[in-house]
Amino acid sequence: MPQEPTRAVTTSSDRLPSEPLDRHAIMHRLVSELGYSDRGASLVTDRLEASDARIQSGFLKWWNTGQIESVEVEGYDVQRLMREHQFNPIAAFLTLDWLIKEPVSAKAALARGHDRVELKPSPRLESPGSAKGPAEST
């Protein structure tokens, strides 16, 4: 009697995604639920489709269940990127893929950090009827 072939056991870090990325569904949800523009959703989906299998697997688990699977690359994981760099999960997964593909550039960029823009209210005029602007006030 023929025996069934044995299947190799793989870990979460090296398995292929259990399901393919559904481009249409991802784009639709990015736009309708997460506020992405059509162009932005298309760009993110392109990058996800081109990402490493580990990243796709982790992304799909988060996308479908909300659970973040531990995928570590160059000492970074999704939780660390979210905590230390205030990334959302999608940006964190895409950054992990960048760390896989271009570790030197990605680590340098993460080490530099990113600029923060602080918006301050514009200065008020000295008095409500004054014709002087803020630059002319002394």
**What is the pLDDT confidence band of residue 6, given thresholds at 50, 70 and 90?**
very low
Domain ranges of the chain: 23-112
Report DSSP letters for 10-41, one per residue.
--TTTPPPSS---HHHHHHHHHHTT---HHHH
Q: Which residue has the tokens 């990243």?
A: 55
Q: What is the structure's pLDDT at 108?
A: 93
List pLDDT tens digits, range 34-66.
999 999 999 999 999 999 999 999 999 999 999
Within 8 A by CB and 6+ apart from 34, the residues are 90
Query: What does the alpha-carbon distance between residue 111 and residue 73 come to, in Å, rounded to a whole number?
Result: 15
Amino acid (1-letter code) at residue 57: S
- Tell me, yes or no, if the pTM score tops 0.75: no
